[in-house]
Amino acid sequence: MLAATPANIDTSRARNFFEEKVAFTTGPVELEREMRDDNVTVVDVRAAEDYAKGHIPGAISLPQELWDTFSGLKKERVNVLYCYSQVCHLAANAAMKFAGKGYPVMELEGGFDGWKAHNLPIET
């Protein structure tokens, strides 16, 4: 349902939306660059068995049943969370929980599927 026209787009709201989006999300290519500089902690919040089948190199596994442990998260650096795909909300839910405890977080747009779609390395 695209009923938007230039006349009914609130550009101020659009700017605010995209400022928030850019502040708390990153893409696969950007994440790989940050990983090379060792600036982030990458956190896989998928099920442990899926992590074992393949994950972003260097990512820690923190499946939902272990979120209350905050194991591997760092308060002194950004924790980039990812789940399965663009439509998976595990990473967003984890981000809310972790941010609520003072951990700096971002979400990887596209999740693990987005990472693979860019033919980036996978570790098993």
Q: What is the pLDDT of residue 26?
A: 97
pLDDT score of 1 more than 60: no
- Annotated catalytic residues are 83
Q: How many domains does the chain have?
A: 1
Give the pLDDT mean for 92-118.
Answer: 98
Give the angle 57-31-103 at the CA atoms, nearest 5°.
90
CA distance 117 to 70: 29
Give the pLDDT mean for 11-32.
Answer: 94
On whether residue 16 sits in a domain, the answer given is: no
On whether residue 17 sits in a domain, the answer given is: no
Distance of CA 122 to the CA centre of its chain: 16
On whether residue 45 sits in a domain, the answer given is: yes
The whole domain housing 103 covers 28-117
On whether residue 97 sits in a domain, the answer given is: yes
Task: Please write the tens of the pLDDT for every residue from 33-61.
Answer: 999 998 899 999 999 999 999 999 999 99
User: What average pLDDT does the chain have?
Assistant: 94
Query: The CATH number of the domain where 59 resides is what?
Result: 3.40.250.10
Nearest CA among 35, 88, 80, 36 for reference residue 62: 80
On whether residue 71 sits in a domain, the answer given is: yes
Task: Please write the tens of the pLDDT for every residue from 67-90.
Answer: 999 999 999 999 999 999 999 999
On whether residue 105 sits in a domain, the answer given is: yes
